[in-house]
Structure 1
Amino acid sequence: MGPVLIFVFVAVAVVFGIYWTYKQKQKRRAGLATFATQYQLQYSQTDPYGLLRGSAFHLFREGDGQGIENVLSGTWQGVPVREADYWYYTESTDSKGNRTKSYHYFSVCLAEMGATMPYVGVSKENMFTRLADHVGLRDIDFESDQFNREFNVKSPDREFAFKLIDARMIQWLLTTGGTFGFELDGTTLLVYCKRRKPAELVPLMGTAKAFHDHVPKLVWTEYGQGANATTAAAAPPPPAPPAPAAPPAPTQPS
């Protein structure tokens, strides 16, 4: 194959890749818009809330660059929520100095809790979390050996972690099978998992609602906001996003 044919082949492949990525983005946006209509949520292709700005969530600080798009907002079974596509990338350089980016994609749901709480992170236990225990904040162990084997819990406030993750919460978390990760900080709960199709987002939203419902009454009493604390009432719904503008040109693959 001559150099001209190679160039043409590469050019066609690049153009096809760009077109395929564009069509996939359009298909996902259409699916999310349909999901939003079906569940009486609002949809924005961009992030009108600045969800990454000043966030203390560890997931939102992963990698060398991050981004959020396709934001759903509204109320899910009485709890104010915002669901979005989140991604981050890591950069690496090979022996020849060539730089590459590796992307990681998630579906995330942020739920307003109606209480101001210390940071707690709950994720599936694995080799990397065990290694992290030796170089950072150590995992907190609970009375359930099964739970300790399956989950990694971190918090600078161990006393609060024990209040939050009581026997009832432990039993419920075990039923999730480690499919979802959780971070709680201030008034917001973050629930995340690998990127899901629009039609598969109900379990993610439902898991955020279920975590909210399994927070012990003691926590609502001690950390809740105002008279609604004992009933776990959520904060006011997030403001409606501004009128949708023309979407920016894609800057990363989906």
Structure 2
Amino acid sequence: MVGLVVWWQWQERRKKVAEFTAFAQERGWRYLERDRGLVKRFRGSPFGRGHDRRAEHVLRGTHRGRRLVAFEYSYKETEGSGDNRRTRTYPFTVVGLATPAPRPTLELSRENWGRRLLGLVGMRDLQLESEEFNRTFRIRTEDDKFAYDILHPRMMAWMLADERALSIPFRFERGDLVVWTPGKVDRTRIAELLDYACDILDRTPDFVWKP
């Protein structure tokens, strides 16, 4: 029985590798089955938790004129001992877009679950003038001015009206904009995250990238 399960998992992985290889070729992207370096590239959620952390099915290329990396990130958590020992795997689809210049960390998530996100040293909560926005989202930043510049009135109005913003957190960190969602990587999730991240950058004022 164990051998059958292993064989089935191997067959499913082969299918996924073939699927994403073709997916990358269609778009002129590059595909890599694994990339250990990505496990430690980003800070904060969903990274840094658990054990046996992996970055797999990695896609690199450009989308709407921006350099991208998209991949499946996973980690495991083990609880209990003996016969009650259980290990659970937590998969996420992650997309990172290169920004025109490195900037301070700014993370935005839904207020009702954002407090469970992994903390970052030097980050603090920020409240904006919009009470509706504050009730809906949690803003964590290491630079208030950068947060105010990104979350201008038009950006806030758009996010409050866009269903994606209500379920997909994002984080500016160093030279990337990172978005992620729970679940194994697939074409639909990648497409949604890529377009959402690009839409955020399209609404970001050009002046924030200037020295």
Residues 190-247 of structure 1 deviation map (CA, whole Å, 9 limit, x = unaligned): 111123422442111111211221212331234xxxxxxxxxxxxxxxxxxxxxxxxx
Q: Distance in 2 between matches of 1:127 and 1:207?
A: 20
Correspondences of 1:117-132 after superposition (within 5 Å): 117-127=103-113, 129=115
Match of 1:24 in 2: 12
Query: Secondary structure of the equivalent of 2:47?
Result: helix
Give yes or no for the alignment of 1:185 onto 2:173: yes
1:52 counterpart SS class: helix
| 1:143 CA displacement | 2.3
Provide the C-alpha distance between the structure 2 equivalents of 1:186 and 1:128, rounded to a whole number of angstroms.
Answer: 21
Equivalent residue letter for 1:214 = R
The size of the alignment, in residue pairs, is 206
Matched, 1:53 2:40: yes
CA contact (8 A) 2:169 2:179 kept: yes
2:78 to 79, 91, 105: 91
SS at match of 1:61: coil
Give the structure 2 partner of residue 154 of structure 1: 140
Q: Summarize the Cα distance change of 1:150–1:199 in structure 2 as closer, same or farther, 3 Å threshold.
A: same
How many angstroms apart in 1 are the aligned matches of 2:104 and 2:136? 23
Q: What SS does structure 2 have at the residue aligned with 1:219?
A: helix
User: Would the alpha carbon gap of residues 55 and 130 (structure 1) be closer, same or farther in structure 2, given more than 3 Å must change?
Assistant: closer
TM-score by length of 1: 0.72
CA distance in structure 2 between the aligned counterparts of 1:167 and 1:21, rounded to whole angstroms: 48
Contact 1:31 1:199 (8 Å CA) reproduced: no
Change (3 A) 1:141 1:18: same
Query: Which structure has the highest strand share of the two?
Result: 2
State the distance in 2 between where 1:104 and 1:132 align.
Answer: 14
Contact 2:45 2:118 in 1 (8 A): no
Instruction: Report what 2:195 is aligned to.
Output: 206
The Cα RMSD (Å) is 2.5
Structure with more relative contact order (C-alpha pairs < 8 Å, separation 6 or more): 1
Percentage identity across paired residues of the two chains: 27
Larger radius of gyration: 1
Distance 1:28 1:100 in 2: 27
Corresponding position of 1:194: 182
User: Which residue does 2:204 correspond to in 1?
Assistant: 215
Q: Structure 1: state its 5+ residue gaps.
A: 1-11, 223-254
Counterpart Cα distance in 2 of 1:154 and 1:203:
24
Query: Cα offset for 1:16?
Result: 2.7
